[in-house]
C-alpha cells in the first residue's frame, strides 16, 4: 500500500530525515513513535503528499501503486482527495459550518452531488454515534465529538489510507480511548490503512506495528 525508499529531508544544513525506507501493507495500523524532533511529522507529511522529500535520484514514494513524486500539483490534489484522509491534533473543522457540512466538503471537492454527499456524510456520522449532533457547529461539540467529525470528514471519500498526526493529543483519556478503538473498528469494517504519529503509549501498543524514530531514522520497526 505504501512503499517509501531513501526518503531524505533537509532544511538548510539540518537533516531531518536520513534515507528512510518503509513498507506498509494494506489494512495495517502503524504507529510512528519517538521523541519530539525525531522527524515523525515530516515523514507523515511526505507520505501524505503534503510535503516533498529533498531531491535524491533513488527516492521513491508509492501509494496504492502510484508514484506520487511524479505528480503535478493538480494531480496531487486530486489524488489526495480520492485516496487519502487526514486527521490532525486540532480538528481543523470550519467553525461557520455544521458538522454535516464540514464532513461533506471533501465530497463536494470530489464533485459528488449534494444529495449523494449528504447521504454518505449522514451514514458516517451515524456510524460514529453523532446523528444527534449533525446540525451543530464545532464550538457546540465536545473535543471528542469534534474529533469524530474530523474522522468522518477524513473518511467521506472512502480513502485507502488515513494519516493521523497526534489525533488524540488534545483529548481527555476517555475520549482518546474511544477514538483509538474507533480506528480499529474502521479498519475492520472498511479495510483502511492507518499511519498514526502518536505519543500515546496505549495507542502505539494497540497498533499492528510500531515504527520508532530517532534523529531522522527508523531505529526499530
Ligand atoms: P517530530 O514530529 O518527531 O516532533 P518534526 O518532523 O516535526 O519532528 O521535526 C523534525 C525536525 O525538523 C525538528 O528539528 C524541526 O524543528 C525541524 N523542522 C520541521 N519542519 C521544519 C521547517 N519547515 N523548517 C525548518 N525546520 C523544520
Question: Quick one: DSSP state of residue 139?
Answer: G
Kindly report the backbone phi and psi dihedral angles of residue 46, in degrees, each rounded to the nearest multiple of 5, phi listed first: -70, -45
Q: Cα of 38 to ligand 1 centre, how many Å?
A: 8
- Ligand 1 contact, 38 CB (< 6 A): yes
- Condensed to tens digits (0 to 9), the pLDDT of residues 153-174 reads 999 999 999 999 999 888 888 8
- % of the chain exceeding 90 in pLDDT: 85
- The whole-model pTM stands at 0.93
Q: Cα of 118 to ligand 1 centre, how many Å?
A: 38
Beta strands (DSSP E) in 25-146 are: 29-33, 60-63, 66-67, 84-87
pLDDT at 175 over 90: no
CA 58 from chain center: how many Å? 26
Q: Cα of 76 to ligand 1 centre, how many Å?
A: 23
Determine the 3-state secondary structure of 68 from DSSP: helix
Residue nearest to atom 7 of ligand 1 (CA): 41
> Which residues sit opposite 217 in a β-bridge?
214
pLDDT attached to residue 133: 96
| Domains detected in the chain | 2-220 (3.40.50.300)
pLDDT at 220 over 90: no
pLDDT at 64 over 90: yes
pLDDT at 221 over 90: no
**What number of other Cβ atoms are within 10 A of residue 132's Cβ?**
10
pLDDT attached to residue 91: 79
- Condensed to tens digits (0 to 9), the pLDDT of residues 65-114 reads 999 999 999 999 999 999 999 998 887 899 999 999 999 999 999 999 99
pLDDT attached to residue 90: 83
Residue nearest to atom 22 of ligand 1 (CA): 11
Q: Cα of 7 to ligand 1 centre, how many Å?
A: 15
Which numbered atom of ligand 1 lies nearest the CA of 43?
6
Amino acid at each position: 500500500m505504501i512503499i517509501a525508499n531513501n526518503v531524505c529531508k533537509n532544511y538548510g544544513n539540518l537533516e531531518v530525515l536520513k534515507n528512510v525506507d518503509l513498507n506498509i501493507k494494506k489494512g495495517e495500523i502503524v504507529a510512528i513513535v519517538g521523541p519530539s524532533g525525531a522527524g515523525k511529522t515530516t515523514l507523515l507529511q511526505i507520505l501524505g503528499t503534503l510535503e516533498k522529500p529533498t531531491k535524491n535520484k533513488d527516492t521513491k514514494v508509492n501509494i496504492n501503486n502510484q508514484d506520487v513524486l511524479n505528480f503535478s500539483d493538480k494531480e496531487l490534489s486530486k489524488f489526495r482527495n480520492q485516496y487519502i484522509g487526514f486527521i490532525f491534533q486540532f480538528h481543523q473543522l470550519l467553525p461557520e459550518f455544521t458538522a454535516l457540512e464540514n464532513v461533506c466538503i471533501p465530497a463536494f471537492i470530489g464533485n459528488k452531488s449534494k444529495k449523494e454527499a449528504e447521504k454518505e456524510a449522514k451514514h458516517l456520522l451515524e456510524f460514529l454515534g453523532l446523528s444527534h449532533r449533525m446540525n451543530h457547529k464545532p464550538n457546540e461539540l465536545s473535543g471528542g465529538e469534534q474529533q469524530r467529525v474530523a474522522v468522518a470528514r477524513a473518511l467521506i471519500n472512502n480513502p485507502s489510507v488515513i494519516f493521523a498526526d497526534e489525533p488524540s493529543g488534545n483529548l481527555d483519556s476517555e475520549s482518546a480511548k474511544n477514538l483509538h478503538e474507533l480506528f480499529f473498528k474502521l479498519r475492520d469494517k472498511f479495510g483502511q490503512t492507518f499511519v498514526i504519529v502518536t505519543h500515546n503509549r496505549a495507542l502505539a501498543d494497540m497498533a499492528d506495528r510500531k515504527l520508532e524514530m530517532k534523529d531522522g531514522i527508523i531505529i526499530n520497526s
